[in-house]
Structure 1
């Protein structure tokens, strides 16, 4: 008996630990391996779903007493998506006589104007009328 304990044999516990450790590493690799395409699509989907308002746009909406309904927000979001599909980067999106300038790439509303103001738009490369 003494001869066996002096040799370099692994115990069952050591072998089990090594086996479980190997499976844990293998499982982690499987979970973290994603294709570039799936990562790109998930990031693209996140960008599409969220329309942000810049500080300037929020100030303009408030100072001009423009309250947007859920329907108008949906139209604005849809118009932004349509502009994105056409490759527009800075778009005028018209929703119910309210004009929005949208940075399409960042899905960010830059400013908003209503009927009572001059409507001169610069630095846009497309327009969507909803």
Structure 2
């Protein structure tokens, strides 16, 4: 640098050596409440998909004469939603003397068994039980 300056005098170089920093646009921020709701299991703003029945469950229900009217179906869906809110993945739902094994993650009934056929049955691969 060939420029001269005196003690106590401010020094400003005549040329900038480095190009000005390019600032990235600030990311859009979502409110903390929205972030919290999105991160909790079973509480996202997305509407829950309807409850479905596997082929196996449909056959078993038909064979065993298990019928679900709109009120009982709503009760079962409510239990599934509650289980999802607690982080359950596979649940045994007892409702009106019928045991339903449900994949909470897929919202799918895997099988259904009436009370009379429950004796000596073992339910495996479940992480929760709900009594409705």
Structure-1-length-normalised TM-score:
0.64
- Give runs of ≥4 in structure 1 deviating > 3 Å: none
Q: Distance between the aligned counterparts of 1:82 and 1:51, measured in 2? A: 13
3-state SS of 2:67 partner: coil
Residue 81 of structure 2 aligns with which residue? 81
Larger radius of gyration: 2
Q: Distance between the aligned counterparts of 1:94 and 1:72, measured in 2? A: 12
Residue 94 of structure 1 aligns with which residue? 94
Whose helix proportion is higher, 1 or 2? 1
Residue 105 of structure 2 aligns with which residue? 105
3-state SS of 1:116 partner: helix
Q: Distance between the aligned counterparts of 2:59 and 2:116, measured in 1? A: 17
CA offset digits 1:51-70 (Å, max 9, x no partner) = 00000000000011111121
The size of the alignment, in residue pairs, is: 90
Q: Distance between the aligned counterparts of 2:49 and 2:74, measured in 1? A: 11
In the alignment, structure 1 segments of 5+ residues that lack a partner are 1-34
